[in-house]
């Protein structure tokens, strides 16, 4: 489910990224390279979070599977219902109001 209508959170994203890009540009990416090398060293030493981060950054995050159970309801197009079925649906909706 997405954010509610009018949510402004998306407009806030990027300010940290923008600041980070400015810092990286100021030293020609030297510290960024040092950070990448440190990540590689930690991953090579078997640090679990570093291995995961490296894999996520190079191969992309793994897809998450979701197990579902329950009943599947197949909806028909309005023209596929009989007049009696459409009347029953309308009556059921009116009785809920």
Residue 36 is given by DSSP the state: H
- Residue reference for tokens 């197009």: 77
For the chain, the farthest-separated pair of C-alpha atoms sits apart, in whole angstroms, at: 74
2 has pLDDT over 80: no
Does the model's pTM come out above 0.75?
A: no
Structural Rg of the chain based on CA atoms: 27
pLDDT of residue 16: 87
What average pLDDT does range 39-52 have in this prediction? Answer: 96
The answer to which of 6-15, 51-60, 84-93 has the lowest mean pLDDT is: 6-15
6 has pLDDT over 80: no
- Residue reference for tokens 């402004």: 8
pLDDT of residue 9: 65
């Amino acid at each position: 489910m997405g954010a509610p209508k009018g949510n402004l959170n998306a407009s806030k994203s990027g300010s940290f990224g923008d600041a980070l890009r400015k810092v990286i540009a100021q030293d020609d990416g030297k510290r960024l390279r040092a950070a990448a090398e440190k990540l590689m060293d930690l991953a090579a030493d078997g640090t679990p979070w570093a291995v995961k981060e490296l894999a996520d950054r190079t191969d992309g995050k793994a897809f998450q599977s979701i197990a579902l159970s329950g009943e599947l309801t197949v909806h028909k197009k309005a023209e596929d219902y009989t007049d009696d079925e459409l009347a029953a649906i309308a009556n059921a909706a009116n009785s809920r109001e």
